[in-house]
Amino acid sequence: MNPIVELTDVHKRFGSNHVLRGVSFAIPKGQVVAIIGKSGSGKSTALRCIDRLEVIDSGSIKVCGHAVHSPDVDLRKLRQDVGIVFQSYNLFPHLTVEQNITLAPKAVKGLAGAEAKAIAQRTLVQVGLADKAQAYPEQLSGGQQQRVAIARSLAMQPQVMLFDEVTSALDPQLTGEVLRVIEQLAQGGMTMVLVTHEMEFAARVADTIIYMHEGKVWETGPGDMLRNPQTAELRDFLSHGL
């Protein structure tokens, strides 16, 4: 099976800081990959390169048939195929939940209002917020706002979803709400890449875990690799919690 996401010898520098040092991995369709590692290991940068929010210095990235590393890549089409959810929800405070979700399907895909609303309602059901369509972001908890952000990405019907430490600003109860939604997406066959500090969740949900260290893919394996790390660096990382 051809991978839906493929990074080959990817390098990325910010000035003199060599953040990604030859990163390579491939993700088949329908797989969930969790990227873990210390702060500064390059995991969030790798994720942002997949959606071309960062431009790589060398190597190649292919996502859903798009050559992301190419200067000629069609970003509009790429971002229809790839959804990304960040730690900060980035909802428009002056728009209702429904309006936040329908904005991109109408503007980017040219959907009619009724069709966009139907998609918004369907995605709100997916994230357990069917009754919040007319609420404003300030009326929602942090966990609910993050679930709206997930619904907004799902409304574009992407082939791949990227999650960048989406629970790091939430307390444990709200974290649980958001992780349940992500787990349901995994069960539904969505291809996902998660940068996360939630080790138990990663072990349970991910088909593959990638441990990054000093800008490199240091160790890769199935979910249970966290119970049996093969390298001293991963053992050390896990022994310190974070």
What domain count does the chain have?
A: 1
- Give residue-wise pLDDT tens across range 28-39: 999 999 999 999
SS3 242: coil
- Give residue-wise pLDDT tens across range 85-118: 988 888 999 999 999 999 988 888 888 889 999 9
- Give residue-wise pLDDT tens across range 15-60: 999 999 999 999 999 999 999 999 999 999 999 999 999 999 999 9
- Rounded to whole angstroms, the Cα distance separating 3 from 159 reads 12
Asked if 25 contacts 34 with a C-beta cutoff of 8 angstroms, the reply is no
Indicate the burial class of 201 (C-beta count within 10 angstroms; 0-12, 13-18, 19 or more): buried
Q: Work out the average pLDDT over 126-140.
A: 95
Task: Give me the domain span that covers residue 222.
Answer: 3-239
Higher-pLDDT residue of 2 and 119 is: 119
Long-range contacts of 63-67 (CB under 8 A, 24+ apart): 63/4, 63/5, 63/6, 63/160, 64/4, 64/5, 64/159, 64/160
- Rounded to whole angstroms, the Cα distance separating 46 from 5 reads 12
Check which CATH number belongs to the domain holding 63 and give it: 3.40.50.300
